[in-house]
Amino acid sequence: MQIINKTWLSKEALEAEITVSDGAHNIMCFSQPFQYELGSNLDEPLYCFNVTELVRSKDNIPYVEKLNDHFSYRLTCKMHDKENQQVLLGKILLELDNDTIPGDILEDDFITFECQRIDIY
């Protein structure tokens, strides 16, 4: 996961709109405080806020759809670590704020969900 773009929302408050990529998928994220350099690789998961509409996917293909709200997305990801609510969008690691993943969803299953915002800490 690499930071490929940065737009300051408030330089004084260190708030930035960041684009993270794995080379195949791009995700626009919010970051505050933003203290990385352009081109930096991220090791920690991106954090998905207000996860809703979480279901098992019929398609086993990572998918990104930008929704109307500025930072919101519909994503199809592979369940990577159910206990820690972590999923993979290609090589982008995301952590969901939803601790109620349905019991019938197992690791390596693909899920689709919506989130209001994705953050970099």
Using one digit for the tens of pLDDT, what is the confidence trace for 3-22?
999 999 999 999 999 999 99
The domain in which residue 105 lies consists of 2-120
Question: Rounded distance, CA 39 to CA 81, Å?
Answer: 27
Query: For position 69, what pLDDT does the model report?
Result: 85
- 3-class DSSP state for residue 17? strand
**CA pseudo-torsion sign 25, 28, 32, 33:** positive
- Report, as an integer, the average pLDDT of 59-76: 94
Domain count, the chain: 1
- Report, as an integer, the average pLDDT of 87-105: 91
Nearest to 51 by CA among 22, 87, 105, 15: 87
pLDDT digit string, tens, across residues 36-61? 999 999 999 999 999 999 999 998 99
Q: pTM for the full model?
A: 0.92
